């Protein structure tokens, strides 16, 4: 699939995107489905070059269905345009995108998003505000809501903030000071109703810092690309190195940091993606 990149991987389903086009590949059945265009979108119809489009795969535990969520946003002068769309995979459901009413303030997601316990979570920017929104999309009811963030959290370097899963719970990781100081801040949600979060600080050992300093040089940085099945945070070098492929894996609980090289002589590429797979085989018919 030339020109496509991996947007999201969930339970053996892989979402590949190129601009406004999206395809879903089932890694178990080896089936590929091309999703239809979102023809009724008022934002995409204008000029997709200035749009921000996010595709995310999720599972509806109530109806036992897999759905693709598409969030489209575009800043127009001082006004932010926003649309949420849902497409149901398989099951004989009408193969059309459905627009979801949004009661949240207009926003633009800046995190990849996390699907856990039947909901999708992401952080988003709001025009003329330094305070990001913490948004939840319920996959079954298809309703959006704004949640409370940690009271002591203030993120101004959004590129270095990501929502991850930590020990089965929702967590927000800030790694803005990782490359220079070897420090990461982690907020783990303990109680949603009481908005109770526990804050942890992770500091790398000198030997671990030497590993980063050796490979992350000049204007390079690290980007969080989800977690592995063992809970290791995947850190990908930016910009991407094309002479040899490697990532860093960091276990937040054990404070274990290591480099993993990806050896392959089969492909000559200027672009590569890193995703974390789970152990679930998905036999659904696309």
Two tokens, residue 75 = 């800043």
* pLDDT number for residue 47: 66
pLDDT band at 92 (very low <50, low <70, confident <90, very high): low
* pLDDT number for residue 252: 93
Alpha helices in the chain (DSSP H): 178-181, 206-215
| Whether the predicted pLDDT of 72 surpasses 60 | yes
- Prediction pTM value: 0.87
DSSP label at residue 36: P
Residue 178: CB partners within 8 Å, gap ≥ 6? 160, 184, 204, 212, 222, 235
The residue written with tokens 């496509």 in the block is 4
pLDDT, averaged across the chain = 85
Cα–Cα distance for residue pair 267/275, rounded to 1 Å: 18
For 29-60, how does the pLDDT look when each residue is reduced to its tens digit (9 = 90+)? 899 999 999 989 988 877 666 788 999 999 99
* pLDDT number for residue 90: 81
pLDDT band at 130 (very low <50, low <70, confident <90, very high): confident
* pLDDT number for residue 51: 85
3-state helix, strand, coil in the chain (%, to 5): 5, 50, 45
Mean pLDDT of 155-181: 88
* pLDDT number for residue 274: 55
| Whether the predicted pLDDT of 102 surpasses 70 | yes
In CATH terms, the fold of domain 1-147 is Lipocalin (2.40.128)
| Whether the predicted pLDDT of 279 surpasses 80 | no
Q: What percentage of the chain has pLDDT greater than the value 90?
A: 50
* pLDDT number for residue 215: 86
CA-wise closest residue to 231 among 138, 181, 168: 168
* pLDDT number for residue 246: 85
Q: What percentage of the chain has pLDDT greater than the value 70?
A: 86
* pLDDT number for residue 163: 93
């Amino acid at each position: 699939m030339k020109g496509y990149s991996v947007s999201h991987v969930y339970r053996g389903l892989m979402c590949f995107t190129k601009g406004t086009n999206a395809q879903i590949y089932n890694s178990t059945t080896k089936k590929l489905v091309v999703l239809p265009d979102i023809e009724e979108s008022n934002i995409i119809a204008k000029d997709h070059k200035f749009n921000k489009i996010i595709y995310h795969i999720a599972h509806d535990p109530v109806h036992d269905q897999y759905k693709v969520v598409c969030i489209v946003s575009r800043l127009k002068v001082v006004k932010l345009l926003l649309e949420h769309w849902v497409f149901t995979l398989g099951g004989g459901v009408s193969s059309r995108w459905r627009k979801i009413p949004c009661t949240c303030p207009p926003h633009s997601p800046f995190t990849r998003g996390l699907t856990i316990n039947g909901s999708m979570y992401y952080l988003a920017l709001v025009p003329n505000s330094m305070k990001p929104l913490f948004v939840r999309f319920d996959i079954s009811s298809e309703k959006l809501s704004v949640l409370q963030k940690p009271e002591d959290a203030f993120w101004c370097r959004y590129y270095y903030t990501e929502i991850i899963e930590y020990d089965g719970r929702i967590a927000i990781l800030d790694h803005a000071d990782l490359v220079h100081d070897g420090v990461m801040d982690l907020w783990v949600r303990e109680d949603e109703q009481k908005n109770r979060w526990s804050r942890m600080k992770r500091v790398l050992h000198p030997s671990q810092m030497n590993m980063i300093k050796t490979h992350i040089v000049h204007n390079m940085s690290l980007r969080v690309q989800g977690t592995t099945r063992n809970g290791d945070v995947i850190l990908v070098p930016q910009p991407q190195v094309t002479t040899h492929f490697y990532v860093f894996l960091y276990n937040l609980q054990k404070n274990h940091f290591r480099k993993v090289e990806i050896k392959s002589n089969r492909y000559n590429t200027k672009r590569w993606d890193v995703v974390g797979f789970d152990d679930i085989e998905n036999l659904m018919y696309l």
